[in-house]
Structure 1
């Protein structure tokens, strides 16, 4: 058998494995508390101002599941969440929901089987770890980590505590994306060697924050949680924390995660051999600490590469889409987004057009829709009956690591060389210091 045929055969097998979630190191059947087919999953939503509301709506569509608790450090959210629960689950269900301000108190509730995390990003990994240590299963929004080391710790925690940890990269559950990856594995566009991912939006300036008194509705100390303490300013809460290093991870993790993940999945690659980033904060002069314009190139062994282009403040579309990917091979190209895909030959002729059955949000700050519903059902099924995950935490970690590496390369201003076995930075002490973070005393992560 030729090397080319051998490579194609291996890629098809690998693609099928990815689709089924087989990269996950521990079998779902090893969970300590797989539930019976008729048992209900009792869930708690943590962080319900924005994306958390989308998770509540999707949980309401998942069979054999219920929302029994809500947790938020903004006391105003309880009434709003209560109304949403009543609309989606019914009035009797809303009356049964318990409200918590302190997440640690929620973990003491033995009737909660799983937690749905949609907090600011600095909370994602510490809260996930505390959740599995308390015996809970975890659905955590992307990114699953605030820095590379946190992702590694979550993989270790899943292996140790045998609980489901699923990241909210919901396009992994998209039937059309699964079909597109299968088409690639079957050789529809030949040998695929390049993935281009992009995101473009028209975000406004966040201004220059003023130091003000903490609002009476907010527990600022608990909001900061594991992060080193800072004084309160009027442009942090609820969304602009994304653009500050202490709590957020920038646009590449906030949105680039999704499309970079699809490219990596479609190309059948894991850890790159190098990464280089260029960009900056160009559009406004304000408190935004990350980059509103960023181009990141990843090179992998075997002659494959991925590029991500992020434009937070200039929403000019590519291929009439604010976000998406193109996957380029020796026989053609696939244009793919959350709502379907198109296949073109090398002359640009459209040869296949597949549309998703349901619509999903693309550029707003809450998201939600068809794909989140499917991803939530996959999570519930993994908890209840050991169904293979579409996004096991190891896959989530690898994708978020690529995003973190893009930010680190931009931060230090140079190309990073990487260990292709684990993605760790080679021979660059200055860059390696960003592998982890400092924590507020008592909040350090320990598996």
Structure 2
């Protein structure tokens, strides 16, 4: 299939932006949704959406014909009419009957689809990490503000009651002064091997999949899901899973931007084509506390007894959050079991689409937490400690690091400098 060229992409995007200036009132009953991206995450979101009484999926979109079946089955099993199926996201943006889009694509598409969605008058639920880089994340915030759109980041723990309870406990001073927080994930992933360029599978629009990213030849071992491990499309394990823990850690600490960031680790175990570190420890320094992230992609031996978690170390106790809920150690006895799942987060988004109130993981929250992931990855890639200026969202006197705050774009479409 011949892919769309830059003029076609930008021309359509411009028409969408102009069409989006006239926005109808928020829906009073069911929110009409279009889902873009139907791999595992998109299908999981679809399964949760169809459980909501005030939502209707009217269109689904993916660049791979093979990805439609599972999402459509979930919709049909819930007793809903089969939605329209498209391989071009612009068909959804052009449809004025669609109130909101759900973005579950690879990372390199998140920001652009969110901006174009806002320009088209759509509200947006965008998966984590919200952006591929810092500059794109800021464009998302600007677009949401300019077009008065509801944009929810897919960090669903923001809507879980037990997480809210744990954060409130910390903010109340119940574990005292928190001098450090830590988050981690340890699991065993499989190496992806060494690939060679090959033919694009039948039914896949690879040019559309690459979108704003520079062209790379098709290789099966860096396509579905494995794109996470290449800088051209993904953000590594730090962006993939780190965002969940870091978002809660930043929330609990009550911090915004770090003063300094450093990253240690590397690719120590996997002998394959992955570009990202399989082992990484990042430290962000704030005025009165610090935050540490750790991942091992080749070992499931946990930290604090859990494969994934967040720990807040206070001078009057330690609060731990993991898949068992939250609990306090070395302090007053307190805790709570897990309560809620992604359904509450989607329900919060739908409610805000109708009420126009800010959602639990409003896009600026998502950007500030995702920014931590980007800063950590940049520190890894340049190999040195970095000083960050929050006012300009840039590094002091470091041109190499500042180049990585944005990205090189391909010939088809790129993020506009002004939204």
TM-score where L is the length of structure 2: 0.92
Q: 2:289 aligns with which of 282, 298, 304?
A: 304
Contact 2:32 2:57 (C-alpha < 8 Å) held by counterparts: yes
Partner of 1:384: 354
Q: 1:355 aligns with which of 337, 351, 355?
A: 337
Q: Does 2:321 correspond to 1:336?
A: yes
After TM superposition, the structure 1 = structure 2 runs for residues 218-257 of structure 1, keeping only pairs within 5 Å, are 218-257=204-243
Partner of 1:42: 32
SS where residue 163 of structure 1 aligns? coil
Q: 1:120 aligns with which of 106, 117, 141?
A: 106
Contact 1:32 1:163 (C-alpha < 8 Å) held by counterparts: no
Contact 1:193 1:267 (C-alpha < 8 Å) held by counterparts: no
Q: Deviations over 1:169-199 (max 9, x none)?
A: 1111110110111111111101222111001
Unaligned 5+ segments in structure 2 are 1-21
With over 3 angstroms needed to count, the CA separation of the structure-2 counterparts of 1:420 and 1:280, relative to structure 1, is: same
Distance 2:223 2:186 in 1: 23
Contact 1:34 1:385 (C-alpha < 8 Å) held by counterparts: no
Contact 1:124 1:140 (C-alpha < 8 Å) held by counterparts: yes
1:445, CA displacement in angstroms? 1.2
Contact 1:114 1:137 (C-alpha < 8 Å) held by counterparts: yes
Distance 2:95 2:314 in 1: 51
Contact 1:137 1:164 (C-alpha < 8 Å) held by counterparts: yes
Contact 1:117 1:141 (C-alpha < 8 Å) held by counterparts: yes
1:214, CA displacement in angstroms? 0.6
Partner of 1:321: 306
Q: Deviations over 1:115-162 (max 9, x none)?
A: 111111111111111111111111010011101110011111111111
Q: Deviations over 1:341-364 (max 9, x none)?
A: 001225xxx71231023xxxxxxx
1:35, CA displacement in angstroms? 2.4
Q: Does 2:191 correspond to 1:205?
A: yes
Contact 2:283 2:292 (C-alpha < 8 Å) held by counterparts: yes
Partner of 1:288: 274
Distance 1:68 1:81 in 2: 12
Range with bigger deviation, 168-177 or 76-85: 76-85
1:429, CA displacement in angstroms? 1.1
Contact 2:192 2:273 (C-alpha < 8 Å) held by counterparts: yes
Range with bigger deviation, 117-126 or 331-340: 331-340
Q: 2:92 aligns with which of 106, 117, 121?
A: 106
SS where residue 107 of structure 1 aligns? helix
Partner of 2:377: 407
Partner of 1:11: none
1:338, CA displacement in angstroms? 4.8
Contact 2:184 2:310 (C-alpha < 8 Å) held by counterparts: yes
SS where residue 418 of structure 1 aligns? strand
SS where residue 351 of structure 1 aligns? coil
TM-score where L is the length of structure 1: 0.86
Partner of 1:65: 55
Q: Does 2:152 correspond to 1:154?
A: no
Partner of 1:215: 201
1:212, CA displacement in angstroms? 1.1
Distance 1:230 1:195 in 2: 39
1:387, CA displacement in angstroms? 3.5
Contact 2:23 2:121 (C-alpha < 8 Å) held by counterparts: no
Unaligned 5+ segments in structure 1 are 1-30, 358-369
Distance 1:268 1:416 in 2: 22
1:32, CA displacement in angstroms? 5.9
1:34, CA displacement in angstroms? 5.1
Distance 1:422 1:341 in 2: 36
Contact 2:151 2:359 (C-alpha < 8 Å) held by counterparts: no
Partner of 1:51: 41
Partner of 2:73: 83
1:243, CA displacement in angstroms? 0.3
Partner of 1:8: none
1:409, CA displacement in angstroms? 0.4
Residues matched between the structures, number: 396
Q: Deviations over 1:349-386 (max 9, x none)?
A: x71231023xxxxxxxxxxxx42111101111110112
Contact 1:378 1:389 (C-alpha < 8 Å) held by counterparts: yes
1:421, CA displacement in angstroms? 3.5
1:443, CA displacement in angstroms? 1.0
